[in-house]
Amino acid sequence: MTELEKGPRGQRRGRGARERILSASQQLFREQGINSTGMDQLCAVAEVSKRTLYQHFAGKDELIAEGLRRFDPDVLPEVFDRTDLAPRERLLAVFDTHSALCPFIAAAVEIPDPGHPARVHARDYKLAFAARLTDAAREAGATHPEQLGEQLALLLDGASARSRVLDTEAFSTAAAVAAVLVDNAIPTTVPNPVVLVGHTLPATTVVLAGHPLPATTAGPSVLVDNADPTTTASPALLVGDAAPTAGTP
């Protein structure tokens, strides 16, 4: 049989008081801010006495820190740990799961002391989140994964803050910008020239349409998109044509 406690309204409560206190604090901090939430109001919402509250928590500072520790402790595993998404898709899926009410940003804004446990935890979480983004960027083949990770983290935090202030759909705009950043950060592979079966080519140079070959190019060239062969400074070869034999102009 668990020990029962009485709340301010006389209700008899069990050992779930700690969870009610945490739940009430997170709700109030989210809706009206940390500094605007008093202990009397918190006790009333949690339906516990002030004595009970202080039996579980030393004060508001400990409540704030514990709430942050419980929020997303594994850093968005529902996105970063998904095996059915490619790394690029995971990077962009982050923007579908974030909300405007980031408790870490809120705590950092309302608590000026950089050594406060809540501020320390908020800083550690943001660093861990950027590291997760960097790992996914590296897996996706980004040329500079650390840079891309920081850029995406900045986009997310900016969208979160802007949505909180202006109540706008900032995350959809941030997601579109993120897609451009991701695509620019991941190099694309240039395909090799296509040679029909039975046609042997010596060492060749691919020429994009409208781009002439320099006069120093050795050997025939493979013309892509049927560019005008008269623009090349050396013999041109359309893809699929037989390669000239040695000594043939």
Per-residue pLDDT tens for 100-109?
A: 778 999 999 9
CA distances from 160 to 23, 96, 164, 171 (A): 22, 12, 6, 7
Q: Is the pLDDT of residue 121 over 60?
A: yes
Just give the CATH number of 72-185.
Answer: 1.10.357.10
Residue 9: predicted pLDDT: 43
- Phi, psi at residue 189, to the nearest 5°? -90, 125
**Sign, CA torsion 227/229/232/236:** positive
Q: Is the pLDDT of residue 171 over 60?
A: yes
- CA–CA separation, 36 vs 237, rounded Å? 76
Q: Which is more confidently placed, 125 or 167?
A: 125
Looking at residues 175-183, what average pLDDT do you find? 96
Q: Around Cβ 111, how many Cβ atoms within 10 Å?
A: 19
Just give the CATH number of 14-67.
Answer: 1.10.10.60
- CA–CA separation, 206 vs 193, rounded Å? 7
Confidence of residue 163 (pLDDT cuts 50, 70, 90): confident
Q: Is the pLDDT of residue 89 over 90?
A: yes
Q: Which is more confidently placed, 236 or 32?
A: 32
Q: Which is more confidently placed, 100 or 86?
A: 86
Q: Is the pLDDT of residue 198 over 60?
A: no
Residue 191: predicted pLDDT: 52
Domain 14-67 matches domain 72-185 at the CATH topology level: no
Residue 192: predicted pLDDT: 57
Residue 114: predicted pLDDT: 92
Looking at residues 228-234, what average pLDDT do you find? 46
Domain ranges within the chain, ordered by starting residue: 14-67, 72-185
Strands (E), the chain: 5-6, 12-13, 205-207, 221-223, 236-238
Residue 42: predicted pLDDT: 95
